[in-house]
């Protein structure tokens, strides 16, 4: 069965312009075209497109995605290089996740901070709090800031 660019865009939850961009950047060398130049996607192309989309969403640069596709098309002789690329991207994603977790932790603290201030009617309520009044989960944040730090924002 053949699919249009609109069909594939819907399946991948991306804009058709994203797929056109991927094609323009050389990421879709496996896509067939009709005699009138219309991109014709096969069911087997979905796997390629899913990995391209995954790599792009994970922050891999287009040139590296193109290199990965070229390596895949070379066959088994490039397995080691592909593994290196995937491992490097996995590390990058894990680093991003760790950073997002740190950000979420600070946002959770600020949520508690403002929720407490709202209930008291003032942010000054925190000035009279002891460390025992602050949820233990947030002690690490306060230990890593000085007196002009996160509490005064």
Q: What is the CATH number of the domain that holds 52?
A: 1.10.1660.10
> Residue 24 domain-assigned?
yes
Length of the chain: 153
> Residue 84 domain-assigned?
no
Is the same domain home to 65 and 114?
no
> Residue 127 domain-assigned?
yes
Please state the rounded mean pLDDT for residues 145-152.
Answer: 59
Is the same domain home to 8 and 48?
yes
Is the same domain home to 17 and 51?
yes
Question: CA 37, 39, 42, 45 torsion: positive or negative?
Answer: positive
Q: Which domain holds residue 123?
A: 95-152
148 pLDDT above the threshold of 60: no
> Residue 79 domain-assigned?
no
Query: Ramachandran region of residue 121, left (φ > 0), alpha (ψ -120 to 50) or beta?
Result: left
Q: How many domains does the chain have?
A: 2
Is the same domain home to 112 and 63?
no
> Residue 10 domain-assigned?
yes
Q: Average pLDDT of the chain? A: 92
Q: What is the pTM of this model?
A: 0.79
> Residue 47 domain-assigned?
yes
> Residue 48 domain-assigned?
yes
Is the same domain home to 99 and 68?
no
> Which pLDDT does position 144 carry in this prediction?
74
Distances (CA, A) of 53 to 15, 21, 28, 36, 81: 12, 12, 12, 27, 20
> Residue 131 domain-assigned?
yes
- The tokens describing 89, both together, are 């991207």
Is the same domain home to 65 and 126?
no
pLDDT tens per residue, range 80-119: 999 999 999 999 999 999 999 999 999 999 999 999 999 9
């Amino acid at each position: 069965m053949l699919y249009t660019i609109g069909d594939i865009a819907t399946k991948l939850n991306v804009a058709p312009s994203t797929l056109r961009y991927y094609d323009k950047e050389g990421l879709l060398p496996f896509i067939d075209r009709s005699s009138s130049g219309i991109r014709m996607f096969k069911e087997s192309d979905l796997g390629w497109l899913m990995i391209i989309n995954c790599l792009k969403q994970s922050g891999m640069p287009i040139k590296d995605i193109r290199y990965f596709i070229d390596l895949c098309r070379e066959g088994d002789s490039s397995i080691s290089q592909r593994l290196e690329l995937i491992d490097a991207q996995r590390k990058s994603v894990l680093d991003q996740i760790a950073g997002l977790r740190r950000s979420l932790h600070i946002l959770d603290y600020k949520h508690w901070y403002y929720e407490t201030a709202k209930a008291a009617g003032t942010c000054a309520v925190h000035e009279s709090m002891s460390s025992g009044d602050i949820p233990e989960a947030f002690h690490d944040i306060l230990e890593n800031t000085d007196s002009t730090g996160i509490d005064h924002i």
